[in-house]
A and B are shown apart, each in its own frame.
Chain A
Amino acid sequence: MNDSQAGSKSTARSWRQVSLLHLLIATLAIAAWTAHFSNRYQIARITPKYDRLRNMARELVIEDPSKIAVVALNYNLDVQECWRVYIPCGGFELRLATHGIGVNGPADDYSSVPLPTGEYEIGVTEIEDGQNFRIVALRDGSTFLETQPLSWRNPGSSSSTGHAGTSQQHDGSQPVELLRKRYMVQDPAMPNTWRPPLGPAYGVQLWIQESKTE
């Protein structure tokens, strides 16, 4: 075997070796990308199901611990309305108004109580005790904020809006409304007919707001 024959054989072998190595790398790369795309496809396929189940289960989702998280619950049938909340550090309070409740925005006159940091349930219920009618907010089932006996009664019909049953996070820069319930009023022109109030109304408004710092 002369030098030129040995050189050409070695070149042919190294070409084959490189090509096999490339083939191996290409196979691994294709396998990795196939697995990646298969996983992405699977994630896209099951995410809507996950969201649907999570919404049905009414679970509180805290993705950013620096923000307030709220979900309306429907499983506590002992109170009229109930929410699971997460309150971050930063000084927030629960506010409750029973009159002067407009269609938008918070009422001017309200009672309030500081909200501790952490995760818990807030509920609200109306209590009729003899001649007294009061609105009570509860934290994990215990009275947390209570009105004085009110001069009016629940007339039996109202219109309500409130926080969604889907868990949401809020940065706290704006009030986080849990409930706005405005009681209907009797129509003076039509006896025994109730209609939504035109102006500020009696009712229950409950919201979370940053504590005043002054």
Chain B
Amino acid sequence: MRSRAECYRLGSEIARLERKIGSLNVKDPGRIYVAAMDCNQPFEFAWHVYLPANYNSWLYKSFGQGSGASLVINSGHQEFIARLKIKVKKEQLIVVSHFGGGSSFVSGNAKNPLFKPVLSSTTDGLNFQCAGSHGVESFAIDDEVVFLAITDTNSDAKDNSIAPLFIYKLQKRTP
């Protein structure tokens, strides 16, 4: 009876946690899986991420003059919650992020086109492309995974030559 109760308790806890952070249902362990999570804040983002074993990559963050890249090295497969927040602090636009075991930030100045929208917490005139926002998305390891791209609504127009205002993406590291 006790084992039945324990089994039931674990099952309910798993269901509760999956409601909280989502479930990726990894069918092919050699692919990348991403599902966006709801943060309820205009410039705060989170993703449930699965990376396959031996997948080494560069994680790029870039907005205009401020950009950075960090190396992500995986020996075994990894499943984690990645988080990113764009905020204004003392006349500076700052992007703070946690990805796997590492955290980093990049900053830009007040002339950045994202400065005012972030300062006033308004998303009007901005277009957000967010990986996994319509459910779990899977990618081949050679694919570029764009976690987040923010573009100006007016300049979006499906024109790939226009640089996004901000981009956060993962790209396989080539030896």
List residues of chain A with CB under 8 Å of any chain B CB. 35-36, 39-40, 42-43, 46-47, 49-50, 52-54, 56-59, 74-75, 77-78
Contact = CB atoms under 8 A, between A and B. Distances in A.
Contact of A74 (B10, B79, B83, B87): B83
Given A46-B14, A77-B85, A56 B21 contact: yes
Contacts of B96: 77
B83 A53 contact: no
A110 to B, nearest CB: 25
A77 B79 contact: no
B83 A75 contact: yes
B157 interface: no
If over half of A's interface residues share one DSSP class (helix, strand or loop), that class is named, otherwise mixed; here it is helix
Given A43-B3, A43-B10, A52 B81 contact: no
B162 interface: no
Nearest to B81: A56
B18 interface: yes
A58 B80 CA distance: 10
Interface in B1-49: 3-4, 6-7, 10-11, 13-14, 17-18, 20-21, 44, 46, 48
A46 B46 contact: no
B85 A50 contact: no
B121 interface: no
Given A54-B17, A56-B80, A57-B17, A43 B44 contact: no
Contacts of A42: 7
Interface of B: 3-4, 6-7, 10-11, 13-14, 17-18, 20-21, 44, 46, 48, 79-81, 83-85, 87, 96-98, 103
6 contacts: A36-B3, A40-B3, A53-B14, A58-B81, A74-B98, A77-B98
A83 to B, nearest CB: 14
A77 B83 contact: yes
A50 B83 CA distance: 22
A50 B7 contact: no
The 4 closest A-B pairs by CB, nearest first: A39-B3, A77-B85, A53-B17, A74-B98
A198 to B, nearest CB: 26
Contacts of A49: 14
A39 B79 contact: no
Contacts of B11: 46
Contacts of B14: 46, 49-50, 53
Nearest to B80: A56
A36 B103 CA distance: 45
Contact of A35 (B4, B17, B81, B84): B4
